[in-house]
């Protein structure tokens, strides 16, 4: 299947310009991955199925989003860069605690020419970052960076007071324990688990990937 055929099979209606950006992003990601470990170096030919496609499907869940979003632990820009490509009216802040990763990501973003994306080398719990971006984001996203309870804790001071502000993360495996632990600490938070299904892909693993959306973090 071509990239465009994969998109159509998964109901990803991207413009030609967006498809071009995705193709360039894949090229840059693989190039910088030879220098910095942005994604697994095993089977790089599967980058579309293992990384790009699921992140695009995740991003498409919020298609039309035009607010400010934060990507925690963005690494090589997954899912933040793809989210910004799908939602071009949004404004992104992509952070990572590893300097060499954020340096590579900054160069990728610059080459892509994404004016709506800002990259920062920091930890999400850094007091200066929290103070600067207090209640600044309408959406916080992340891909398998930490336990749900930790991500909720980090998100609370950074999410806006809007009733629609939420945290949404990509996770795999058995999440019931994580969700139960998060609910014990944050009983008022609403947590939804949505299967992340894509075709074609790894039949063994694809049905064990989920989008976890948490709402009512600030109210």
Q: What is the pLDDT of residues 131-145, one digit of tens each?
A: 999 999 999 999 988
Contact assessment for residue 68 and residue 94, using Cβ atoms and an 8 Å cutoff: no
At 139, phi and psi to the nearest 5?
A: -150, 135
Could you tell me which of 125, 12, 118 has the C-alpha nearest to residue 59?
12
How does pLDDT run across 7-65, given as a tens digit for each residue? 888 888 899 999 999 999 999 999 999 999 998 776 666 888 889 999 999 999 999 99
In this prediction, residues 64-77 reach a mean pLDDT of 97
Q: What is the pLDDT of residue 197?
A: 77
Architecture category of domain 3-215 in CATH: 3-Layer(aba) Sandwich (3.40)
Answer whether 196's CB lies under 8 Å from 57's CB.
Answer: yes
213 neighbors 168 (Cβ within 8 angstroms): yes
Spatial separation of the C-alpha atoms in residues 20 and 160, rounded to whole Å: 33
The span from the CA of 170 to the CA of 194, in Å, is 10
- pLDDT confidence tier of residue 98, bands split at 50, 70 and 90: very high
């Amino acid at each position: 299947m071509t990239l465009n055929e994969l998109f159509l099979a998964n109901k990803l209606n991207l413009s030609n310009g967006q498809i071009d950006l995705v193709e360039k992003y894949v090229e840059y990601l693989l190039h910088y991955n030879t220098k910095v470990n942005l994604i697994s170096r095993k089977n790089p030919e599967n980058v579309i199925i293992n990384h790009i496609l699921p992140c695009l499907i995740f991003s498409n869940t919020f298609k039309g989003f035009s607010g400010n979003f934060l990507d925690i632990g963005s690494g090589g820009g997954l899912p933040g860069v793809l989210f910004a490509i799908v939602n071009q009216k949004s404004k992104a802040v992509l952070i990572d605690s590893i300097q060499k990763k954020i340096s590579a990501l900054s160069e990728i973003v610059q080459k892509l020419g994404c004016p709506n994306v800002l990259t920062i080398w920091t930890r999400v719990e850094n007091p200066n970052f929290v103070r600067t971006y207090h209640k600044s984001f309408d959406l916080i996203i992340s891909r398998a960076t930490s336990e749900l309870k930790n991500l909720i804790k980090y998100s609370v001071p950074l999410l806006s007071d809007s009733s629609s502000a939420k945290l949404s993360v990509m996770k795999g495996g058995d999440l019931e324990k994580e969700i139960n632990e998060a609910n014990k600490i944050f009983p008022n938070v609403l947590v939804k688990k949505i299967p992340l299904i894509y075709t074609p892909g790894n039949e063994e693993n694809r049905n064990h990937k989920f989008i976890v959306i948490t709402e009512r973090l600030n109210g």
